[in-house]
Structure formats: structure tokens, C-alpha cells
Chain A
Amino acid sequence: EAQVTQNPRYLITVTGKKLTVTCSQNMNHEYMSWYRQDPGLGLRQIYYSMNVEVTDKGDVPEGYKVSRKEKRNFPLILESPSPNQTSLYFCASSAGGGPSSYNEQFFGPGTRLTVL
């Protein structure tokens, strides 16, 4: 089944404790992206990657890191999480030129992160 998977689905952590949220897709998509969703703010893009070893900042990259060493994986790293990073995070992927193209963007199920 074609899908985007994220782990963990739920995470409660404390300020300053490094964490990684994994994202993997099995559709051989070139484009991958991370979003955060907050009430009243909709989805905001954190980072995206057009292909392996190519990453770019989205609208809210501060406090986050990403890497794209393999085509299928795009982990999101929070080196020193803070309470304002408490949010619902989505990973997404699409083929070719990314979401603003003829290729549909597929979303993972989300990771709910709470930073105390």
C-alpha cells in the first residue's frame, strides 16, 4: 500500500531533550516536506526537500533540522525542543516537482508532540 508513515504518532517530552520524528514513504517520491499544524494557523511548512541531499527552509524553520540522505526518509530533528514547538506535525511527499504541480501531495497520519 502506498503510504507515508511517521513515528512516533504521539510524543511527550521535556524542554531541551533532543528528539527525532521519522518519516518514510514507499512511493519513490522525490519531494518531501514537513508541516506543523496549530489551531487557527492552519498548516505551515517547516522544511522541504526536492530530492536526496537537497533541503530548503519553509516558512517556520527555526528550531528544526532535517536531512535527506535517502530518497524514502526525511527525519525531522528538534535539537533542543521548547514548549512553543508543541504542535501536530505532518510529513508529506509527492512525485516530481512537488505539491504545486500535477502531482498529488500525500500526507502521513501526523505526530502530536507535547514539549513540557
Chain B
Amino acid sequence: AQSVTQPDIHITVSEGASLELRCNYSYGATPYLFWYVQSPGQGLQLLLKYFSGDTLVQGIKGFEAEFKRSQSSFNLRKPSVHWSDAAEYFCAVGGPRDDKIIFGKGTRLHILP
């Protein structure tokens, strides 16, 4: 069965520090992978997606993610976080024949000044 695990419910980093949010997936074939961000009081916004090809994908707001098939992971990274990055981040998985995607439970990112 398809599933997404985000092991960290909360993460706190200092402004300017690097960030890595973890995502592990379970999927029977080559997955499509997504990261969404939800700012406080807002709907979700797509940060980036992986379908095929280069395993390092670039997204908006300076984020990137790396697909590692051997580890069933799709971790999100940013070299230097800004206070405005404080939000909840969702990883999601789907596939070419799927008419929906499955979301993880989210990781809430807190930024220390």
C-alpha cells in the first residue's frame, strides 16, 4: 500500500542555518513525489515535484529535494532558512496511474531568531 512517513513532527532551526526535512515513502512502482508547504492560515502550495530524470530537483523559495530510490526517501533541503520559512511541510506520493496523491502527516518547522 502507498504510504508516506515524515518522522519529525516538529523541527526547530535557527535563522540562517541549513535545513533538512525527512520523507520516506512506500510505493509499488516508480513514484511521483511532492513537497507542499502550508504557511499559517493558508492553503497548501507546491514547492517541488519529482517524476523522473535528475534525482535532485529544485523548487521555489530556494528549496531542493533529492530522490534516493535505495532509501525510499525524498528529503527536502534548504541551505539557509529565513524566518518566513516557518510553516508546515507535507511530503506526498502518487504514481502515473493514480488519480490522487497520499500525504504524510506533516512536519512543522519553527525558526529561532
Binding site for B on A (CB under 8 A): 4, 31, 33, 35, 40-45, 48, 50, 56, 58, 90, 92, 97-102, 104-105, 107-110
Contact = CB atoms under 8 A, between A and B. Distances in A.
Interface of B: 9, 32, 34, 41-46, 49, 51, 90, 92, 94-96, 98-101, 103-106
B100 A42 contact: no
Contacts of A48: 99-100
Given A58-B100, A99-B100, A100-B101, A42 B43 contact: no
A80 B91 CA distance: 33
B10 to A, nearest CB: 11
Given A41-B105, A43-B90, A100 B42 contact: no
B99 A109 contact: no
